[in-house]
Chains A and B, each alone.
Chain A
Amino acid sequence: MSDIGTILLGLGDKLAAHVLLSAAAIALGIAVALPLAIWASRSPAVARATLGFASLVQTIPALALLALFFPILLSLRAVFGEGLPTLGFLPALLALSLYALLPILRNAVTAQTNLDPGVIEAADGVGMTFWQRLRLVEAPLSAPYIMAGIRTAAVWTIGAATLSTTIGQPSLGDPIFAGLQTQNWVLVLAGCLASAGLALVTDALLGTIEKGLASRRRRLTFGALGAVLIGILAALFVQFGGGKDERIVIGAKGFSEQYILARLIGQRLETEGYAVDYRDGLGSAVAHRAVATGAIDILVDYTGTIWTNEMGRSDNPDRDTMLAEIAEWEARTSGTHVLGRLGFENAYGLAMQREVAHFGMFNDIGDLAARGQAMTIGGDPEFFERPEWEAVRNAYGLRFAAQRNFSPTFMYNALKSGEADVIGAYTSDGRIAADDLVFLDDPERAFPNYDAIILLSPEASEDEGIVVALSPLVGAIDVAAMREANLSVDRGEDKLTFEEAARRLAERIGL
């Protein structure tokens, strides 16, 4: 396992993206909040309405706010056209700006209402116009308080920006989500340290500006402001300086197998001379949408997921028919290209500990329906929302005493510790063998096929080089190889990084 220093040094890109996203969100927050505050200081009704709205936004969990911008932007495409991005920077920017609004607005309004009425009377008495009063008196006297609000907003925004990973915007949340997924606490710690460090430095610099404004020391104010600008410029340079616009972006959903396969694909492309970038930790629907719209170029997806979730199908044909129909549907609806199967299947299945299943004589899902009503079932956060679960539940008439959500990693722990008796597990997961779990048979064939397939965005599918570089992966990875690779990053000790696991996998399959 690489040590934390190395990981931190490797976070430069994420840090730069994080800085730019946070800075843009705070800047937009300021640009909206200050005019509103001026308006609000002239009208109590506006003050009530704006502060009420900003407070309401604050009660929405940041993660949900980020997620909500996906459908909002999607519906706005009717107005702004298909070019409007629904994932990545734009929705993250909008959600975080809304979040930054409240502290800035509240402090600005409070500062305005707390201005000494004598000073305002004097400003009017000497004949100041509206703008003169604002510029010469109200703004300089309110500035330290507004700065304090901006400071609070900055710390919040930098923290909340880690969540933008889930909607496909690179940030310091990437290592946190990747580490959480694989119980790689060093990775989580590195992400937290970097994010907290950034927040502390920003807080200190903005605090210095605030102090400079309050004590009217221009050198202090402009010195700290200069430092902030240099930081943002450095981030801009890292992001855009090297002319790396031509990067191929590989998406990964939030579990180990996806991270490893993304690296495997990335490494192959890199040896062919491509520059690559990763969007990790995407939700299922988000990831598919991202590849279909070209927000990412390459994604490994699963036939059953597309079949039930994207196409809304509930029938269950054989795997070749299913793949052919998916390929036709993808090509027709978005121009997304199905390159082919990787060779293994990562199906959902219901898994139990071997001895529990053996002792209770649970062989297939029907047994569970008959005798499992007192049991607790665990699943990943998506599982119980997916149509497959509904199909299985209805096919067998499943009823449980409780159902609980876990992140995939903790789901396996829950099974071990008895907090769940049966889980919705993944067949290619390395922990199936490592934890000595068995899958219950599915005689009704309620779970569809989940062959792993490579999807290329419409644009990427026209790049001959990509197709050539990735074609050797088609049919090359069997489930045993995938399980071993997954286990090598999921196990508690002697973990490999995703990059190392991808290299070992490449060696094993002879590439």
Chain B
Amino acid sequence: MTEAPGPLLELCDLRKSYETTDAVSGVSLAIARGEFVALVGASGSGKSTLLKTVNRLVEPTSGTVRFDGEPIANLPLAALRHRIGYVFQSIGLFPHMTVSENIAIGPRLVGEKLAARRVEELLELVDLDPAMGARMPDELSGGQRQRIGVARALANEPQVLLMDEPFGALDPVTRDALGNRVRALHEKLGLTSVMVTHDMAEALLLADRVLVMEDGEIVADEVPRALLGGAGGAIAQGLVAVPRAQANRLAELAR
């Protein structure tokens, strides 16, 4: 499937404990180059915590994460995050910076100045008007802001894109459009993407591979077609049942 041997991301017996509970209890996982993986589960299942161990926003209690074969604990934090795009639900655009400055922040941190042309390109990539660069974040809609969040995450030309409920706060139309856009960018830029979502339908429609988490453990690891065919066990099927029932009802209504 890929030109280099071995997975791009490898999690070995990863555990994150808080005082009384384990958010992640011993997860091992390999993600190949170019995969689009969705992490699905109920609130509190540990999926966000697991995702954040990859860019070390969460430090695991034990276990290792390897990025391209290298344990990430050995990498300088800034350098690691430079190679990993991060998009999350509350977006976190810097309110005191223009859209252009927000997008260019990653390169700026390592002393590079992102060319105006490149900012326009990135805006075009996320379906925004290239002239929008001079605007301030508070002048934009939620959908526009998250598009900029994606553009900012891509400015460093990262190998990996991590997304934590990236479309959770958006209206359904924007959500659908941006989801498709991100999937297209994943292909176009040759990214390896990991997306946390609680929406199984979104996971099935966008991802190549769906991981289901429950109580800090991965309970299912299937391709979308297999899940729809009944694989993955009771918990996964419970999650799949919801969009399936909705689809059936809609089909009946249309008949």
Contact = CB atoms under 8 A, between A and B. Distances in A.
Task: Say whether A associates with B.
Answer: yes
Contacts of A125: 55, 57, 81, 86, 88, 92
B94 A122 contact: yes
Contacts of A127: 77-82, 106, 109
Nearest to A132: B109
Interface residues of B, number: 22
Contacts of B172: none
Contacts of A136: 94, 105
B152 interface: yes
Contacts of B55: 125
A118 B92 contact: yes
A121 B109 contact: no
A216 B96 contact: yes
A386 B77 CA distance: 68
B123 interface: no
Contacts of B92: 116, 118-123, 125
Interface in B81-121: 81-82, 86, 88, 90-96, 105-106, 109
Nearest to A141: B96
Contact of B78 (A120, A121, A129): A129
A127 B79 CA distance: 7
A401 interface: no
Nearest to B102: A122
B181 to A, nearest CB: 20
Given A129-B78, A132-B109, A119 B57 contact: no
Interface in B35-93: 55, 57, 77-82, 86, 88, 90-93
Interface in A107-152: 116-129, 132, 136-137, 140-141
Interface string A439-453: 000000000000000
A491 B202 CA distance: 91
Contacts of A141: 95-96
Contacts of B82: 127
A137 B94 contact: yes
A119 B137 CA distance: 12
Contact of A118 (B91, B105, B106): B91
B57 A126 contact: no
Contacts of B77: 127, 129
Contact of B109 (A120, A122, A128): A128
Nearest to B88: A121
A127 B78 CA distance: 4
A118 B106 CA distance: 17
A464 to B, nearest CB: 66
Interface residues of A, number: 20
A283 B77 CA distance: 61
Contacts of B79: 127
Given A126-B109, A126-B152, A132-B109, A119 B81 contact: no
A129 B80 CA distance: 12
A49 B171 CA distance: 46
A126 B106 contact: yes
Contacts of A117: 90
Contacts of A123: 92, 94
A116 B77 CA distance: 22
Interface string A245-283: 000000000000000000000000000000000000000
Nearest to A126: B106
A198 to B, nearest CB: 32
A44 B23 CA distance: 25
Contacts of A126: 81, 86, 105-106, 109, 152
A216 B77 CA distance: 31
Nearest to B96: A140
Contacts of B90: 116-118, 121
B192 to A, nearest CB: 17
A141 B96 CA distance: 7
A86 to B, nearest CB: 46
Given A119-B94, A132-B109, A141-B96, A124 B57 contact: yes
Nearest to B78: A127
A293 to B, nearest CB: 52
Given A126-B86, A127-B81, A121 B95 contact: no
Contact of A119 (B78, B95, B152): B95
A216 to B, nearest CB: 6
A136 B78 CA distance: 15
B135 to A, nearest CB: 13
A453 to B, nearest CB: 66
Nearest to A216: B96
Contacts of A140: 96
B84 to A, nearest CB: 8
Contacts of A137: 94
Contacts of A216: 96
A476 to B, nearest CB: 71
A319 B134 CA distance: 86
A199 B106 CA distance: 44
A127 B84 CA distance: 9
Contacts of B149: 122
A303 to B, nearest CB: 68
User: Which of B91, B94, B106 has the most A CB atoms < 10 Å from its CB?
Assistant: B94
A443 B75 CA distance: 92
Contact of B93 (A122, A128, A129): A122
A122 B78 CA distance: 13
A132 B109 CA distance: 8
Given A121-B90, A127-B80, A129-B109, 19 more contacts: A116-B92, A116-B95, A118-B92, A119-B92, A121-B57, A121-B88, A122-B86, A122-B92, A125-B55, A126-B106, A126-B109, A126-B152, A127-B81, A128-B78, A128-B109, A129-B78, A136-B94, A136-B105, A137-B94
Interface of A: 116-129, 132, 136-137, 140-141, 216
17 contacts: A116-B90, A116-B95, A117-B90, A118-B90, A123-B94, A125-B55, A125-B57, A125-B92, A126-B86, A126-B109, A126-B152, A127-B78, A127-B79, A127-B109, A128-B78, A129-B77, A136-B94
Pairs A-B, 8 closest by C-beta atoms:
A122-B92, A127-B81, A118-B90, A125-B86, A118-B92, A127-B78, A127-B82, A119-B92
